[in-house]
Structure 1
Amino acid sequence: MDRHVDGNGLVQLVTFHLGRERYGVEVVRVREIVRMQSITAVPRSPKHVLGVTNLRGSLVSVMDLRMRLGLERIPYGPKTRILIVEAGVQPVGLVVDSVADVMRLPREAMGETSGLLSGSEARCVRSVAEIGDGSLLLELDLDDLLGGEQDEGQVSCVAETSDTASSIGQSGGAGRRAA
């Protein structure tokens, strides 16, 4: 998918933290940001897919972004948030450690990642930018992140989980908080 650039040639990213690292996704792909809430596990889902949550009457698949990127899992805290992002037909929730802000960066500041990263991060990171404090911001490619293959050879089943969620919702499944 092509990058969305505003009339001033700027890319707008919702930025968030996973540990000490800062990541971002295009603001046009983010529907909303919600606090961590009850998640119902879906059997036989990949480890990074936590399950589904009820968001104002609609079931949304939720994945732990740390686990999807192969990072160490940590307990959820008061700053943990779920980014609800556009992912084709149905939205998907991405659990992040905390949300930072919306940044506007010139398209030219978004550098290529070829040769910088390896493994699942290489496929999921669209660009890298140096931000004001000298740290790096990794822009995630949601299409690869949500639809790409896992290192273990598994195909991401976020879409399959959404289908399963629909059938659970129709049968009145109960929720529980993910640990």
Structure 2
Amino acid sequence: MNAVMNDKNTGAATSAREYLTFRLGQEEYGIDILKVQEIRGYETPTRIAQAPAFIKGVTNLRGTIVPIVDMRLRFACAQADYDAFTVVIILNLRERVVGIVVDSVSDVMELAAENIRPAPDVDSAIDAACIRGLGSVGERMLILLDIERLMSGVDMGLSLATD
């Protein structure tokens, strides 16, 4: 939800966005809340033969077949155990529904543009074009993902409809 807030001191309008925050290992990520359809507990999906390792399989969500992507495997994180905190975030991306497995969901955080910095140009498992920036609130640092771009990358093996 894009919000316009007035700065108390200047009266100037500033744009803010809400991000759903989640954890993968020690890192905290944020994705645009408008892309999130729902959050569900982890259930073992049906495996698809010859799919990339990070695509855990598919699940039937009220009649819709949803591919499930394990973000820990996608980002080359150490393998974590599936436990009571493991969740699947169901995303609605360009008319396509995709689920992502994460260690846990933290909260929804509103970030103003001035709290977002460009991501440093470093080699990582995440294509730099898929990182919107780094958000900071107090001591917390969030890696803000362009989840739609990340999920539509050629290496994902998922075809999202184009505009």
Q: TM-score, normalised by structure 2?
A: 0.85
User: What is the Cα-based RMSD across aligned positions, in Å?
Assistant: 1.7
- How many angstroms does 1:62 deviate by? 0.4
The one-letter amino acid paired with 1:130 is S
Aligned to 2:145: 140
The one of 3, 8, 11 equivalent to 1:6 is 3
Counterpart secondary structure, 2:159: helix
Contact conserved, 1:49 with 1:158, CA < 8 A, in 2?
no
Contact conserved, 2:25 with 2:77, CA < 8 A, in 1?
no
Aligned to 1:171: none
- How many angstroms does 1:129 deviate by? 1.4
Counterpart secondary structure, 1:93: strand
Identity among equivalent pairs (%): 31
In structure 2, distance between residues paired with 1:53 and 1:73: 21
Contact conserved, 1:66 with 1:96, CA < 8 A, in 2?
yes
Counterpart secondary structure, 1:108: helix
In structure 1, distance between residues paired with 2:105 and 2:64: 23
Counterpart secondary structure, 1:7: strand
For residues 139-158 of structure 1, what are the structure 2 equivalents within 5 Å?
Answer: 139-149=144-154, 155-158=155-158
In structure 1, distance between residues paired with 2:65 and 2:36: 17
Shift of the 119–20 alpha-carbon distance from structure 1 to 2, 3 Å rule, reads closer
Counterpart secondary structure, 1:159: coil
- How many angstroms does 1:114 deviate by? 4.0
Structure 2 residue 85 is the aligned partner of structure 1 residue 83: no
Show structure 2 runs of 5+ residues with no match: 6-14
- How many angstroms does 1:143 deviate by? 2.4
Shift of the 5–114 alpha-carbon distance from structure 1 to 2, 3 Å rule, reads farther
In structure 1, distance between residues paired with 2:60 and 2:68: 10
Contact conserved, 2:30 with 2:145, CA < 8 A, in 1?
yes
In structure 1, distance between residues paired with 2:79 and 2:96: 26
Counterpart secondary structure, 2:110: strand
- How many angstroms does 1:90 deviate by? 1.4
Q: TM-score, normalised by structure 1?
A: 0.78
The one-letter amino acid paired with 1:109 is N
Contact conserved, 2:58 with 2:68, CA < 8 A, in 1?
yes
- Number of equivalences: 150
Aligned to 1:175: none
The one-letter amino acid paired with 1:157 is G
The one-letter amino acid paired with 2:16 is L
Task: List per-residue Cα deviations over 1:121-141 (Å, max 9, x = no partner).
Answer: 234321101222x13111111
Task: List per-residue Cα deviations over 1:61-93 (Å, max 9, x = no partner).
Answer: 100011111212211110000000122231100
- How many angstroms does 1:16 deviate by? 0.7
